Amino acid sequence: MSAVDTVAYVVHLLFAGLWTGAVLFVTVSVLPLAERGDVRPEPLSYLTDRLTTVSRVSAVALLLSGGHMAGTGYTVESLFGSGRGHLVLTMVALWLALAALVEIGAGRMRRGLGRSKVRTPANDAKPFWQAGSAVALGLLVVAGLLAGGLPF
């Protein structure tokens, strides 16, 4: 494995962990506080902006590192014609879904926070961030299957 390949794998794993962890943290820890009204709009706005930044930077980093890994590890035929290739394509679909869900959830959150509300924006964003968390877990499962060296 070349140094570039190693860097691509490290970058991919770091940003995948950061992104999925951030989405799960916001959904499990921050959102319930907001639904109860136990957090002020300013810190919640800051966290929403940070999650959006993490999501966008991670999406680009994963696109570049994953593109490199797919480009060096798969042919078009193996990508579309093997079990491992299908897992990679599943990961791409989940990656796109996660990016969209975080953007939509953050947009819903920002709308209400601009009016100094907390509970309503949290409730508006909740289904998108919960779906994003499910997608994030799916990404981790697919990554585990790919890393496990399954013989398909």
Over 90: is that where the pLDDT of 139 sits?
Answer: yes
- How confident is the model over 9-20, as pLDDT tens digits? 999 999 999 999
Tell me how far the alpha carbon of residue 130 is from its chain's centroid.
12
Over 60: is that where the pLDDT of 152 sits?
Answer: no
Both tokens assigned to 91: 């990961």
pLDDT score for 113:
87
Over 60: is that where the pLDDT of 60 sits?
Answer: yes
Give the length of the chain.
152
- How confident is the model over 119-137, as pLDDT tens digits? 999 999 999 999 999 999 9
C-alpha span between 48 and 77 (Å, rounded)? 40
Band (150; pLDDT cuts 50, 70, 90): low
Q: Average of pLDDT values for 89-94?
A: 94
pLDDT score for 151:
57
Is 81 exposed, middle or buried, given 0-12, 13-18 or 19+ CB atoms closer than 10 A? exposed
